[in-house]
Amino acid sequence: MSLRYRPPRIFYGWIVAGVASICVFVASGIWYSFQVFFVAFLDHFQTGRGETSLVFSICVIVYSASSVLVGALLDRFGPRWVVSSGGVLMAVALLACSQAQELWHLYIAWGVLVAFGIALADVMPAFVVLSNWFVRHRGTAMGLASAGSGLGLLVFLPLTEVLVSGYQWRNAFVLLAGIAVVVVVPLAALLYRRSPSDMGLPTDGDLIAPGPIRLAGNMARPSRHITLATAIRHPAFWLLAAGFGCAPLSTSAVLTHQVAFMTDTGLPPVSAAFFAGLVGLGGATGRIVIPALSDRIGRVAAYGLSTASLIIGIGSLFLGGHTGALPFFYLYAIAMGCGYGPPRPHLRRRYRRCLFW
């Protein structure tokens, strides 16, 4: 009697995607909470905005520069060790922030340590792992994981405001540290898995792929293998690297100063926090809808759609600041959320597609 393979009712890859989403939710929420702490730092340290925002500028630089190291750690130790270590480091760094006596202490504690902890637990480990678990549903899985970032902005911004207002900013850091270690560490240590082969499962949960995998036109797999040495000699690689590097710089600058900017235009702080939260809601929606759409129309078209939405959002904020018209702020919140939200395709895969068009 022959035995037929019956796949589990719930493919474990979706559990990995859910765990990744929760870890990204906490890491990104802590990242975006700086908007609230920024105002508290201005009042406590009596420093200028440029000097104070340097804390977050260092954070962005360290976060970006650590990508290579995070990738190497993932290859060597796997996601369970890397992401759970990120949760521990975030907690320790946030506790260090709570003890800061001078602004330069935050340059180290938040700018360096918190940034590296977030990098270990944020979207990069999620995308690397999910690219192993999924092929046909990769956009949907990555969208689910990265939706945690938009929800992090939606939840952590008002939560941090309540904590800072009710318990002072030092105690708020302690409570956020508790969230990082209680949520991220056990989930990552117990449930994260590097690839389906670690559990004897096939990619996408299929025993045998049903014929050739049919992807959108600009998602076809290249036939040649691209090494790092080959990539760095091609202009397309550096153009893509520049594009991926500039996009976070623009979005991070806007998201960091959006609350202060809107209050400067005359909006009440409550209204500014509302629009900032609406950005998070739009981000959560965009991170699910656009990646899922990319499974149908292709990564390049979806990437262009999200970039156009980002441009519309930043332009609307500019117009809202000069006119004071609320419709521009609503348009900013929705378009900015949908624009910054969707995950950018994996750099190496995008480069390979560009080179072998």
If asked whether residues 150 and 238 sit together in one domain, one would say no
If asked whether residues 173 and 233 sit together in one domain, one would say no
The count of domains in the chain is 2
If asked whether residues 41 and 189 sit together in one domain, one would say yes
| Strand, helix or coil for residue 248 | helix
Residue 79 token pair: 């996601």
3-state secondary structure 45-87: HCCCHHHHHHHHHHHHHHHHHCHHHHHHHHHHHCHHHHHHHHH
Comparing 321 with 237, the larger pLDDT belongs to: 321
- Residue 208: pLDDT band by 50, 70, 90 thresholds? very low
At residue 189, does pLDDT exceed 50?
A: yes
Comparing 39 with 248, the larger pLDDT belongs to: 39
At residue 209, does pLDDT exceed 70?
A: no
Percent of the chain with pLDDT over 70: 83
Range of the domain at 257: 219-357
Mean pLDDT estimate for the chain: 80
Over residues 246-302, the pLDDT tens digits come to 766 677 778 777 877 887 888 877 777 778 878 877 777 777 777 777 767 777 787
If asked whether residues 33 and 136 sit together in one domain, one would say yes
Taking residues 289-317, what's their average pLDDT? 80
If asked whether residues 190 and 302 sit together in one domain, one would say no
Taking residues 168-193, what's their average pLDDT? 94
At residue 57, does pLDDT exceed 90?
A: no
Over residues 218-227, the pLDDT tens digits come to 444 444 556 6
- Residue 81: pLDDT band by 50, 70, 90 thresholds? very high
At residue 342, does pLDDT exceed 90?
A: no
Question: Pick from 181, 206, 231: which residue ends a domain?
Answer: 206
Comparing 96 with 43, the larger pLDDT belongs to: 96
List helix spans (H) across the chain.
12-32, 34-45, 49-65, 67-77, 79-98, 103-108, 115-121, 123-133, 138-179, 185-191, 228-231, 235-264, 269-297, 299-323, 326-340, 347-355
Question: Position 216: which residue type?
Answer: A
Could you tell me the end-to-end alpha-carbon distance of the chain, in angstroms, rounded to an integer?
Answer: 48
Question: Pick from 206, 234, 267: which residue ends a domain?
Answer: 206
Kindly tell me the sign of the dihedral angle through the C-alpha atoms of 58, 61, 63, 69.
Answer: negative
Is the Cβ–Cβ distance between 347 and 243 less than 8 Å?
Answer: no
If asked whether residues 249 and 165 sit together in one domain, one would say no
CB-count burial class (<10 Å; 0-12, 13-18, 19+) for 315: middle
Question: Position 263: which residue type?
Answer: T
Structure confidence at residue 206 (pLDDT): 62
Taking residues 47-54, what's their average pLDDT? 87
If asked whether residues 48 and 98 sit together in one domain, one would say yes
Taking residues 88-92, what's their average pLDDT? 96
Structure confidence at residue 351 (pLDDT): 39
If asked whether residues 109 and 22 sit together in one domain, one would say yes
Q: CA neighbours within 13 Å on the CB side: how many for 219?
A: 22
If asked whether residues 180 and 95 sit together in one domain, one would say yes
Over residues 161-178, the pLDDT tens digits come to 888 888 899 999 999 999
CATH number of the domain enclosing 88: 1.20.1250.20
Question: Position 43: which residue type?
Answer: D
Comparing 231 with 326, the larger pLDDT belongs to: 326
If asked whether residues 247 and 310 sit together in one domain, one would say yes
